[in-house]
Structure 1
Amino acid sequence: MDKLTITGKWFYAAAFIIFGIQHFMYAQFVATLVPAWIPLKLFWAYFVGVAFILASISIIINKYALFSSVLLGIILAMFIVLIHIPNLVSHPQEPQRWTRALQDVVIMGTALMVTGELKLQTAGKYLFAVPIIILALQHFTHASFVTAKVPAWFPAVEVWDYIVGVVMAIAAIGIITNRYMGAPALILALLLLTFALLYHVPLLLADAHNGQQWTGAMLDIAIVGGAFIAAALPAVYYKPSQSSNLITK
């Protein structure tokens, strides 16, 4: 299980290092995402970039990882409250905005799972898995930006859309209910990693300077990291003969 945690942390941290670098490469654009009423927009773009990089290094070397992962969780929570919620209120009919908001909830949940603290991990597990169920449902609407992640050369693309949606939903429910230990999360990690590689690698090879494409790829990689970490979480249950005693293993 330790190997799964380490693998997940590397995926997760690598994604945030790229995000941090992007905050410097595209600082002027990032500054436009800061709410209008907040001063020093460019400063906050750089500050968050530094925080992402330092937190990622901290997680990789396992030094001050609790502080770093909590910090990441707080930053992502602020993104949700200050950026995503106002956007969703203004544009409630745009599914892509919902997807981006849900993705940030998922990776915020991952940050809590990285802490190693049982209560935070439990909260993180739910924040990770519940949005995955909602994201899975988008595969049944065949939204173009979702279906596009199934390689066009696959036979019966829409059928694969359903298959991916079903597997994502079942895996997320398995994570929530602690069924079959870490198997559902591991299946989810491998599924998402496979499709992330099949979809993003050709696009990045074709246009390595496309910042938007890197962002999309790293979001998927961060979620893959979260699934690996979830696969290694201790299953929490109640021993049948002593239901009052909380048991972990």
Structure 2
Amino acid sequence: MQKQNKLWRVLFAVAIIAIAIQQLIFSVFMPVIIPWPTELAKSPAAVWVGSIILAAIAVLIIGDSKARPAAIYLGLLFLLLVLFFHIPNQFLTTPAFLGSWNNALKLFALSGCAFIVAASLPQTGTFTTGFERMIPFGSCFLAIVMIVFGIEHFVYIGFMPRLVPKGIPFPVFWSYFTGVALIAAGLGIILNIKLRLAASLLGLMIFIWFLLLHIPRALADPHSGNGNEIVSAFEALAFSCAAFILAASNKKIGVKAKPKKG
């Protein structure tokens, strides 16, 4: 189990490093990190400093000695970006359009993923102790976003079937099915009902999307939106890794597992 967690933790960190590298290549913050069209998002100096910090924290997550505090700091960093950049930007632009909140929601989920990673690691006794209280919220952050994304599959059913890879029959059915699956997984995690099964299936479903949907789209269009399709692929990888780590914990982080009967 520890080896599996290490694998998913490393892949999660690789996904974050890849997003940072993508920013360095295009010299712009990806919208999921800093929302456009703010000037900060296009500042070369800010992009380089921010991306190097992001990559450095992710590198620490790969190792064992500093992985837990690094994951906590990453979760806090993402959460602060949501609170101080994404939310104000949304209220100034298109607050009523649910789809325009996707980048804020993705970063909120990535914050939760980082806390989930931190929870899977032993305490180190470092000065991150004061921030440990954020860890129990990790699974809730991820679950809330999955529920919202599931709802979007119904709200935007006219668009969602277009994302189903060509050659797969019944795209409308799969759009509805995915929406139901996301909502069910999110509720299972939040309510601590069959959590291990819910998290495992969520991780598997998103990893399948990563392979069948995101990688082909990234290969077909690696340049549009400063490589947004590539970033979307690594976001999906990060979500699936966190879900697998959560499943391996066999309980909702921060809540005691239900005792087995008998």
Alignment partners' CA distance in 1, 2:166 and 2:78: 33
Report the AA paired with residue 92 of structure 1: P
Q: C-alpha offsets along residues 146-201 of structure 1, whole Å, 9 cap, x if unaligned?
A: 44332132211111111111111111111122222411101001111112211122
The answer to whether the 8 A contact 2:250-2:257 is kept is no
Q: 1:180-195 alignment to 2 at 5 Å?
A: 180-195=194-209
Who is 1:212 aligned against? Answer: 228
Relative distance call for 1:75 and 1:191 in structure 2 (3 A) is same
The answer to whether the 8 A contact 2:17-2:54 is kept is yes
Q: What displacement does 1:34 show?
A: 8.1
Report the AA paired with residue 26 of structure 1: F
Alignment partners' CA distance in 2, 1:174 and 1:39: 36
Determine helix, strand or coil for the equivalent of 2:163: coil
Who is 1:8 aligned against? Answer: 8
Alignment partners' CA distance in 2, 1:106 and 1:93: 20
Gaps of 5+ in 1: 242-249
Report the AA paired with residue 54 of structure 1: A
Alignment partners' CA distance in 2, 1:220 and 1:130: 16
Report the AA paired with residue 229 of structure 2: Q
Relative distance call for 1:40 and 1:187 in structure 2 (3 A) is closer
Q: What displacement does 1:206 show?
A: 2.5
Q: What displacement does 1:82 show?
A: 2.7
Who is 1:222 aligned against? Answer: 238
Given candidates 77, 82, 85, the residue that maps to 2:84 is 82
Who is 1:142 aligned against? Answer: 156
| Structure 1 range deviating more: 166-175 or 137-146 | 137-146
The percent of aligned pairs where both chains have the same amino acid is 25
The answer to whether the 8 A contact 2:27-2:42 is kept is no
The answer to whether the 8 A contact 2:29-2:41 is kept is no
The answer to whether the 8 A contact 1:8-1:227 is kept is no
Alignment partners' CA distance in 2, 1:72 and 1:40: 22
Instruction: Note if 1:48 corresponds to 2:50.
Output: yes
TM-score normalized by structure 2?
0.80
Who is 1:105 aligned against? Answer: 108
Q: What displacement does 1:129 show?
A: 0.8
Who is 1:21 aligned against? Answer: 21
Q: C-alpha offsets along residues 83-123 of structure 1, whole Å, 9 cap, x if unaligned?
A: 21123212123333211111111110011111236744321
Q: What displacement does 1:44 show?
A: 2.4
Alignment partners' CA distance in 1, 2:257 and 2:219: 46
Determine helix, strand or coil for the equivalent of 1:140: helix
Relative distance call for 1:237 and 1:157 in structure 2 (3 A) is same
TM-score normalized by structure 1?
0.84
The answer to whether the 8 A contact 1:113-1:120 is kept is no
Q: What displacement does 1:209 show?
A: 4.4
Q: C-alpha offsets along residues 116-149 of structure 1, whole Å, 9 cap, x if unaligned?
A: 3674432111111112111111111235664433
Gaps of 5+ in 2: 124-131
Q: What displacement does 1:224 show?
A: 1.1
Who is 1:115 aligned against? Answer: 118
Determine helix, strand or coil for the equivalent of 1:148: helix
